[in-house]
Structure 1
Amino acid sequence: MAGHDRTISVLKLFTIDRPVWTAEKVAEALEVSVSSAYRYVAILVEAGLLTPARGGSYVLGPAIIQYDRQIQLTDPLLVAARPVMADILRYAPSHSVILLSRMFEDTVLCIDQLVDGTYPTAEVSYARGRPMPLFRGATSKIMLPYLPTRDLRRLHAAHAGEIRDAGLGEGWDEFRKALTEMRRRGYVITYWEIDPERIGIAAPLLEDQKRLLGSLSYVIPKSEQDTAPRLGPLLMAAAREVEVRLAED
């Protein structure tokens, strides 16, 4: 693996479960020499992506915070979506949350969350920056029909059991049929697949009606089950408005 790829691999070792690493442990995890590990770490420290901690260890650095602020202020999808999210929140039941999400590798990340102001502690599992499963929950499922066939085949080959358990089909043909139906409808509703007292409703965000950008979703209380079907078309219209704003930019 090229040196720059190794450097990125070092950065990926830093997780919530294991946020602190030494160069020696990096070398062990990546199966490289300790001198190489120190070189990769030094590059990341110089870039501000890692910073030294106690005992010769390292943690994520201040540049991560700087880049996060820049994303919050300048990301075109965030800038386009936030006014629309604020507008459609008023049509949701009390205690609802609106999510803006993107795919990242084989997971889904919430990149923004808007909570009903009358109930600011309406927590949901889709917290900003937390990797979530690709095959469970409306927020994730609605993205699947818009992936290239080669990616879907790879996902099915690697996660057939998860796909089956998520109600998306026993085999490849049933999986494709389920995705075709989602795409035809234009939105997905799931019932307490992620949080036991929550219903998810999601619509895709697309570029030129083709390339997947992410998803826009409501997460509403279980008690509002009868409300869910009317929110699907509203989300579809909101997603189209986001897409128009992006195109105008």
Structure 2
Amino acid sequence: MQSKNKTVVKSMDILNLFLHHSKLSFNEIVQYSGIPKTSVHRMVLSLEEMGLLAKNEEDSKYSLGLLFLQFGHLVAERLDIRQVALPVMHRLHQEVGEAVNLIVRDGSEAIYIEKLDTKQPVRLYTAIGRRTPLYAGACSRVILAFLPYMERERYIDETELKQIASGTIVDKGKLRQAIVESRENGYSVSYSELEDYTAALAAPVFNFKGEIVAGISIAGLDVNYREDKLESLAEKVKAAALEVSQKLGFIK
């Protein structure tokens, strides 16, 4: 604590005011910060010169400078979603004991980019690098469900739904209904869609723009996903997905 530069700390106090206020006058900065007016004047001028604050000529109020926008984009672009998600996936894995998967979209498919194996004696085929169509399986479909409407509809119209396992949805009306339910509930669930006698439950991961960027799922034998267990499992998966989303800058 002793090594902190007081001027830098006070400058950060001023910048932090803009987390809750889009614009502030000079007097409002003085009032909210509690910093003497002469010090505020000196620091605001420096922050403005560095591009961290911008002054509106019409009302003389200050707002965050464009430099923050540039930094924000760089931070968002450089975040490794796998690195961000993995600690959350480990906690979810400890809670539910099922396989935990992280999937992202790659064109018309979803691809598994991280996985933690189930603690159950019977293991599922969910290898990193596995590809699945967006319409099949809970984790793939949760990505499809939260795409923009026109993009989603174009995909459904142009895609032939092929049977992969006994529960794969191959009717486009039923697929649309499953998507509606996913959007309403905030999660997707599937039974025997990619492999027989298996089930999965997935929730969406969003970026700082509110765009779907991934899905987190748990998967295991279908007997572990009966109706009486779904609500509890869904809340855990949704909480994990939301935590990853927030680490990516998403604001609910």
Identify the TM-score tier after normalising by the shorter chain.
0.5 to 0.7
The separation in 2 between residues aligned to 1:169 and 1:184, in whole angstroms, is: 20
Q: 1:82 is matched with which residue?
A: 86
Q: Cα offset for 1:131?
A: 1.3
Gaps of 5+ in 2: 1-77
Deviations 1:105-136 (A, max 9, x none): 111100000124x45x7542331112112111
Instruction: From the CA coordinates, give the structure whose radius of gyration is larger.
Output: 2
Q: Cα offset for 1:180?
A: 2.6
CA contact (8 A) 2:135 2:161 kept: no
Q: Cα offset for 1:141?
A: 1.0
The separation in 2 between residues aligned to 1:149 and 1:134, in whole angstroms, is: 15
- Equivalent runs, 1:119-198 vs 2, <5 Å: 119=120, 122-159=122-159, 161-162=161-162, 166-167=168-169, 170-171=172-173, 176-198=176-198
Q: Specify the code of the residue in structure 2 equivalent to 1:230.
A: S
Q: Kindly tell me: are residues 161 and 88 of structure 1, through their superposed partners in 2, closer, same or farther at Cα, counting changes over 3 Å? A: closer
Q: 1:216 is matched with which residue?
A: 216
CA contact (8 A) 1:115 1:122 kept: no
Q: Cα offset for 1:162?
A: 4.5
**Partner residue of 1:232 out of 211, 234, 241:** 234
Deviations 1:176-202 (A, max 9, x none): 454232111001111121122321000
TM-score by length of 2: 0.59
CA contact (8 A) 1:169 1:178 kept: no
Computed over aligned residues only, the root mean square deviation of the Cα atoms, in angstroms, reads 2.6
The separation in 1 between residues aligned to 2:113 and 2:79, in whole angstroms, is: 10
Q: 2:243 is matched with which residue?
A: 241
- Three-state SS of the structure 1 residue aligned to 2:248 is helix
Q: Kindly tell me: are residues 186 and 150 of structure 1, through their superposed partners in 2, closer, same or farther at Cα, counting changes over 3 Å? A: same
Deviations 1:132-190 (A, max 9, x none): 12111101111112112332232122125449x9447545xx65454232111001111
CA contact (8 A) 1:92 1:220 kept: no
The separation in 1 between residues aligned to 2:117 and 2:242, in whole angstroms, is: 21
